[in-house]
């Protein structure tokens, strides 16, 4: 769903993303990330990155917040906020991009710096030529039943 956020929604997205970052568990990288997802029903979902000594077991804030929302039954989203402690606009990693595009390719993502300034990007622009459910349905090969 594409629509512009109201000023109040944008302020709340930024505020919740910054607060979510405080809950990050990142003893190995010390790279805190907080994310907030607004769904089409007006619900706010928050999450943070959670690391693990087995690095492959770590999960990014973006996937954390999507998993929380999806596991509660939501599949339609309005906007995502991502907050870090860096002074540049940190974009979601490749795994997160692919994970999120499964649900909303034109999702606006607000990349939030510590001073609360932000840059707005669109998910599909971060992952051009992506594939999702529609491609998987079109590309299924049927078994050849001829001898």
pLDDT at 3: 84
**Annotated catalytic residue 143:** no
The structure tokens listed for 54 are 């087995």
How is the chain split into domains, by residue range?
7-137
Instruction: Please identify which of the residues 62, 72, 104, 143 carries the catalytic annotation.
Output: 62
Cβ(95)–Cβ(103) below 8 Å: no
CATH code 3.40.50.2000 for 7-137 = no
The predicted model scores a pTM of 0.89
> Contact, 22 vs 34, CB < 8 A?
yes
Question: Which pLDDT value is given to residue 134?
Answer: 72
DSSP 38: E
Mean pLDDT of 88-92: 94
Rounded Cα gap, residues 54 and 119, in angstroms: 32
Report the alpha-carbon distance of residue 53 to residue 37 in Å, rounded. Answer: 27
Annotated binding-site residues for substrate read 49-55
What number is the average pLDDT over the span 105-130?
A: 95
The region of weakest confidence among 25-29, 117-121, 131-135 is: 131-135
């Amino acid at each position: 769903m594409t629509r512009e956020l109201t000023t109040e929604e944008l302020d709340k997205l930024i505020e919740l993303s910054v607060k979510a970052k405080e809950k990050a568990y990142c003893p190995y990288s010390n790279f805190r990330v907080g994310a907030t997802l607004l769904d089409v029903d007006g619900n706010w979902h928050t999450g943070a990155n959670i690391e693990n000594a087995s690095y492959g077991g770590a999960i990014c804030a973006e996937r954390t917040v999507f998993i929380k929302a999806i596991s509660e039954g939501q599949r339609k989203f309005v906007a995502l906020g991502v907050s870090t402690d860096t002074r540049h606009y940190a974009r979601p990693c490749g795994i997160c991009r692919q994970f999120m595009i499964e649900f909303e390719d034109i999702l606006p993502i607000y990349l939030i710096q510590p001073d609360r300034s932000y840059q707005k990007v669109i998910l599909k622009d971060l992952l051009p030529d992506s594939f999702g459910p529609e491609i998987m349905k079109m590309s299924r090969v049927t078994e050849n039943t001829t001898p």
